[in-house]
Copies of this chain bind each other. A is one copy, B any other.
Amino acid sequence: MIIILKANPDPAQLEALIAWLKAKNLEIHASEGESHKILGLVGDTSAMDVDLIAALDIVESVRRVQEPYKKANRKFQPNDTVIKVANTQVGGGNLTIMAGPCSVESEEQILEVARAVKKSGATMLRGGAFKPRTSPYSFQGKGVEGLRLLSLAKKDTGLPIVTELMEIHQLEYFEDVDVIQVGARNMQNFNLLKEVGKQNKPVLLKRGMSATIEELLMSAEYIMSEGNEQVILCERGIRTFETATRNTLDLSAIPVLKKLTHLPIIIDPSHATGKAELVPPMAIAAAAAGADGLLIEVHNDPQHALCDGSQSLRPDVFDDLAKKLFKVHEVISKF
């Protein structure tokens, strides 16, 4: 961390600052420019509050040199993390396709969709049992019964399952779940992050609607700092001024994250765009940009889906898309 002081800082305040920094076990390297004195801090500054120091009367500005995350940082672990889920792997050159309905609705529905997506090449089944809905009057998911139906579909197809955890106490029902999803609205529900950090299962961590990439990595750090290093990151659209799509899918997050972290990155074009017709081109673009996988909503009867039907693909459209995704992935894997 580097602290740039204002010209002619008050000596007493400067002394107080230096004493305070030393009390935090930091080494201080002062250097003098013509107009500004600079303090370079050496030691663990990850817990220090940049804004607080920047607010001091004698400080012009403060700059972090080190990223505030450690376990998620590629600098400290250069090799890509590959996460084993049942008999499949996320990361390491694979294109993982997680597909299924927004919401589990019935045994027939989940079995039909699971069998269809498996046939098309999906390697994981997604489906919501506990659903975060903006309105208290909307369908809130089938809950524990939904988890039971997911298990049935898993037994039937062999596909591992990924589903959202909304609340710590729901963990007792997650025994048969293969990947725990933390939703965008809970990306900074720090108690939930700590709790999934104590589990021995992969976590799919969705980027919050208005979270920066650094904040996403800090939330991954919460999980990892509790011991669980199996974190899969997921970009699902950020909130902007544009209204033509539900959110703006930030595909540049893929190469940015690939540089900053060793964790795998999955793209969710269904929630990002909110419109079924936009899902295929955005899914293909994501694969082309180097994503480790995709999370895609598929429903056997989108027009009667109990939630988010507008963005779900019919199984035949998904089948066509999956073929294209594998083709594009094959091409760019040779680049």
* Chain A interface (Cβ < 8 Å from any Cβ of B): 2, 4, 20, 27, 29, 31-36, 38, 40, 42, 46-47, 49, 51-52, 54-56, 60-61, 63, 65, 68-69, 132-140, 166-169, 185-186, 188-191, 194, 208-210, 212-215, 218, 221-222, 225-226, 238-246, 248-256, 259, 272-278, 281-282, 284-290, 302-305, 307-311, 324, 327-328, 331-332, 335
Docked pose: A256 CA to B281 CA in angstroms: 10
Q: In the complex, which residues of chain B have a beta carbon less than 8 angstroms from the beta carbon of A51?
A: 246, 274, 308, 310-311
Docked pose: A242 CA to B51 CA in angstroms: 16
Q: How far is the CB of A108 from chain B (nearest CB, A)?
A: 19
Docked pose: A309 CA to B245 CA in angstroms: 29
Docked pose: A248 CA to B328 CA in angstroms: 23
Q: Are A210 and B241 in contact (CB under 8 A)?
A: yes
In chain B, what residue has the closest Cβ to A40?
B33
Docked pose: A213 CA to B218 CA in angstroms: 27
Q: In the complex, which residues of chain B have a beta carbon less than 8 angstroms from the beta carbon of A256?
A: 244-245, 278
The answer to whether A248 and B243 touch (CB under 8 A), given A138-B47, A310-B51, A310-B55, is: no
Docked pose: A5 CA to B87 CA in angstroms: 44
Docked pose: A290 CA to B283 CA in angstroms: 12
Docked pose: A56 CA to B98 CA in angstroms: 25
Q: How far is the CB of A61 from chain B (nearest CB, A)?
A: 7
Q: How far is the CB of A186 from chain B (nearest CB, A)?
A: 6
The answer to whether A55 and B250 touch (CB under 8 A), given A185-B188, A240-B240, is: no
Q: Are A210 and B210 in contact (CB under 8 A)?
A: yes
List 22 A-B pairs, Cβ < 8 Å.
A2-B36, A20-B304, A34-B40, A36-B40, A55-B303, A55-B310, A68-B137, A133-B190, A134-B188, A136-B194, A136-B222, A136-B225, A166-B191, A210-B210, A238-B248, A240-B250, A248-B252, A255-B277, A259-B277, A285-B286, A285-B288, A328-B331
Q: In the complex, which residues of chain B have a beta carbon less than 8 angstroms from the beta carbon of A226?
A: 136
Docked pose: A273 CA to B288 CA in angstroms: 17
Q: Are A132 and B29 in contact (CB under 8 A)?
A: no
Q: How far is the CB of A85 from chain B (nearest CB, A)?
A: 25
Docked pose: A251 CA to B269 CA in angstroms: 11
Q: Are B281 and A290 in contact (CB under 8 A)?
A: yes
In chain B, what residue has the closest Cβ to A335?
B324
Q: How far is the CB of A223 from chain B (nearest CB, A)?
A: 9
Enumerate the 6 nearest inter-chain pairs by beta-carbon distance, A residue then B residue, closest first.
A31-B31, A210-B210, A55-B310, A288-B288, A33-B40, A285-B289
Docked pose: A178 CA to B240 CA in angstroms: 35
